[in-house]
Amino acid sequence: MISDPTTLFAVLAAVLAGVFWLATLPRLKRFFQFMPPVIWAYFVPMILTTAGITPAQSEVYTWMSRYLLPFALFLLMLTVDLPAILKLGKTALMMMVAGTIGIMLGAPVAYLIFASVLPADAWQGLATLSGSWIGGTANMLFIKDSVGTPDSLVGPIIVVDTVVGYGWLGILVFMSTFQDRFDTWIGADKTVIEATNRRLAEVDTTREPSDTPDLAYILGLTLLVTVLSLAVATYLPDIGNPTVITSSTWGILIVVTVGIALSFTRLRRLEHRGGSKVGYLALYLLLTSIGAQADVAAVLQVPMYMLAGVVWILVHIGILLLVARWLRAPLFFVATGSMANIGGAASAPIVASVYFPAMAPIGLLMGVSGYILGIYGALFTAQLLAWMSGFLV
Looking at per-residue pLDDT, the higher value among 203 and 276 belongs to: 276
Looking at per-residue pLDDT, the higher value among 210 and 72 belongs to: 72
Entry pTM:
0.68
For the segment 338-352, the average pLDDT, to the nearest whole number, is 79
State residue 188's pLDDT score.
83
99-108, 138-147, 257-266 — most confident range: 99-108
For the segment 172-176, the average pLDDT, to the nearest whole number, is 82
Looking at per-residue pLDDT, the higher value among 147 and 84 belongs to: 147
- Alpha-carbon distances of 311 from 109, 113, 127, 161, rounded to whole Å: 8, 9, 15, 13
Beta bridge pairs of residue 239: 245
Task: Please say if the pLDDT value at position 127 is more than 70.
Answer: yes
Q: Provide the percentage of residues in the chain whose pLDDT is more than 70.
A: 87
Greatest distance between any 2 Cα atoms in the chain: 62
For the segment 312-316, the average pLDDT, to the nearest whole number, is 96
Q: How far apart (Å, rounded) are the C-alpha atoms in residues 330 and 320?
A: 11
State residue 118's pLDDT score.
85
Looking at per-residue pLDDT, the higher value among 243 and 167 belongs to: 167
In terms of DSSP H, where are the helices of the chain? 5-23, 29-34, 37-50, 59-78, 82-86, 90-114, 122-133, 137-147, 151-160, 166-175, 179-186, 191-200, 212-233, 247-262, 275-292, 302-327, 331-342, 348-355, 360-392
**Spacing of C-alpha 55 from chain mean position:** 26
Residues 6+ apart with CB under 8 A from 192: 89, 91, 92, 329, 330, 333
Q: How far apart (Å, rounded) are the C-alpha atoms in residues 211 and 92?
A: 36
Q: What is the dihedral of CA 166, 95, 123, 140, to 10 degrees?
A: 60
Task: Please say if the pLDDT value at position 311 is more than 60.
Answer: yes
Q: Tens digits of per-residue pLDDT, 132-144? A: 898 777 678 778 8
Q: Tens digits of per-residue pLDDT, 74-97? A: 887 787 777 766 666 778 888 989
Q: Tens digits of per-residue pLDDT, 280-296? A: 888 889 888 877 876 56
State residue 204's pLDDT score.
46
Q: Tens digits of per-residue pLDDT, 329-341? A: 899 999 999 988 9
Rounded to the nearest integer, the mean pLDDT of the chain is 82
Q: How far apart (Å, rounded) are the C-alpha atoms in residues 103 and 153?
A: 20
State residue 203's pLDDT score.
46
Provide the pLDDT confidence category of residue 173 given band limits of 50, 70 and 90: confident
Q: Tens digits of per-residue pLDDT, 2-60? A: 889 999 999 999 999 999 999 899 988 888 876 778 778 878 888 888 888 998 788 99
Beta bridge pairs of residue 245: 239
Tell me the one-letter amino acid at 152. S
Range of the domain at 300: 5-203+210-392
187-196, 252-261, 361-370 — most confident range: 252-261
**Angle ∠(345,348,349) on CA atoms, nearest 5:** 90
State residue 227's pLDDT score.
94
Q: Residue 57: left if φ>0, alpha if ψ -120 to 50, beta else—which one?
A: beta
* DSSP character string of 229-247: HHHHHTTSPPBTTTT-B-H
Q: Tens digits of per-residue pLDDT, 316-332? A: 999 999 999 998 889 99
The number of distinct structural domains making up the chain is: 1
Q: How far apart (Å, rounded) are the C-alpha atoms in residues 220 and 223?
A: 5
Q: Tens digits of per-residue pLDDT, 182-228? A: 988 888 877 766 665 565 455 445 556 777 888 899 999 999 999 99
